Amino acid sequence: MPTLTTNSTMQNHLLAALPAIELNELLAHLELVSLKLGTMLYEPGEQMRYAYFPTTAIISLHYVTESGASVETAGVGNEGMVGVSLFMGGNTTPSSAMVQTAGNAYRLERHQLQTEFKRAGLFQRMLLRYSQALLTQVSQTSACNRHHSIEQQLSRWLLTTLDRIPSGELIMTQELVANMLGVRRESVTTAAGNLQQAGCINYRRGHISILDRKVLEGRVCECYLVVRKEVNRLMDPTSK
């Protein structure tokens, strides 16, 4: 296990926003873990044991219906954390959390998270502000899924994922993307084909490469910028 330092936690924006005195309190309790694609961090109604602060991993928050259909309600990357129920007092949730993109994250045991939250320092404030940002993402995703085209939804999802993986190369099958958006695979195939013809992306054998971000931004709905601006505003520790 690598030794954690203040510098090594800078990959997670929420942790990076903390002053050294608060971050040092966490260092002894943070555990760096490798998360594999498809790993389920928690199931609906399951007692959560850990909070996760992703660095290179991306976590998908899902809701699964009784019929087995699922849709992503929000995604969590290096901007935030997974497990808001742990400090909000709920401990469980009707949704699930699954690793969408393999990578690393810092893991914090739930009792330690609650202890640090109760210190009422900037850590508490940032966690609450992140909760508001997450609510914004969930509500905007709901509106997007209802009112915007699948091509616009796919563009939003690609740009949001790209913000968390600057390489511009996504390892993602169309079937998995369809499950994230809660639509038919054929619909994603058509939308991805349109974006490829427009020169935005290149798709081959489960790899999606972003070729022209500017063009992709021109085809996305307003939902992407609404969420991005709100996350940036709320996760800035100097903002009021």
- pLDDT band per the 50, 70, 90 thresholds, residue 1: very low
**What residues contact 21, with CB distance under 8 A and at least 6 apart?**
none
For residue 86, what are its two tokens? 């742990």
For residue 175, what are its two tokens? 């079937």
To which CATH superfamily is domain 7-144 assigned?
A: Jelly Rolls (2.60.120.10)
Residue 3: predicted pLDDT: 46
- pLDDT band per the 50, 70, 90 thresholds, residue 8: low
Higher per-residue pLDDT: 67 or 190: 190
For residue 145, what are its two tokens? 């899924």
Calculate the alpha carbon distances from 52 to 2, 14, 63, 102 in Å.
17, 11, 19, 13
* Predicted TM-score of the model (pTM): 0.90
Residue 182: predicted pLDDT: 83
Name the nearest CA neighbour of 109 among 16, 47, 57.
Answer: 47
CB half-sphere exposure, 14, CA atoms < 13 A = 28
Which CATH architecture best describes the domain 149-220? Orthogonal Bundle (1.10)
- pLDDT band per the 50, 70, 90 thresholds, residue 2: very low
Task: Name residue 114's amino acid.
Answer: Q
Average pLDDT over residues 197-210: 88
Residue extents of the structural domains in the chain: 7-144, 149-220
Query: Residue 134 pLDDT > 80, yes or no?
Result: yes
Higher per-residue pLDDT: 138 or 171: 138
pLDDT tens track for 44-91: 888 889 999 999 999 999 888 777 777 889 999 999 999 999 998 877
Indicate the average pLDDT of the chain: 88
